[in-house]
Amino acid sequence: MAIERLSDEARAAALNELPDWTYDAERDAITRRYTFADFSAAFGFMARVALLAEKADHHPEWSNVWNRVDVLLTTHDAGGLSERDVKMARAIDSLSS
Ligand code: H2B
């Protein structure tokens, strides 16, 4: 079954439930910056997210600079934000808190 982009209403509801994430209208994506004590903690977080992403077959676009990890979630197969991104955002948040 095709993965659908979220409707405007569904997106608004999802963002309301993910206050730490920012909507990127240009990409139809959500983004969040995570900051850690040092590189080791940041990379440990990335390793745990990588395992989640493989299991879900849903992968973040991200970058790392020392203690910082910038994450962008969008669904390539849908051409924008989908329920998969919302689920992944929740799963990532549950790792970092
Ligand atoms: N990750 C993301 N973010 N979006 C996708 O559409 C996507 C993915 N598709 N990971 C998956 C892999 C797809 O390419 C494979 C073939 O299932």
| Residue of 57, 72, 83 to mutate, ligand 1, most atoms within 8 A of C-beta | 57
pLDDT of residue 2: 87
Any bridge partners for residue 30, and if so which? 23, 73
Q: What is the DSSP string of 14-35?
A: HHHH-TT-EEETTTTEEEEEEE
Provide the b/e sequence for 50-69 (b: ≥16 CB within 10 Å). Answer: eebbeeeebebebebeeeeb
pLDDT of residue 22: 98
Give the model's confidence band at 88: pLDDT under 50 very low, under 70 low, under 90 confident, else very high: very high
pLDDT in tens, 42-74: 999 999 999 999 999 999 999 999 999 999 999
Which region among 61-65, 71-75, 84-88, 93-97 has the lowest average model confidence (pLDDT)? 93-97
Q: Please choose from 77, 81, 86, 92 the residue to mutate so as to test ligand 1's pocket, defined by most ligand atoms within 8 A of CB.
A: 77
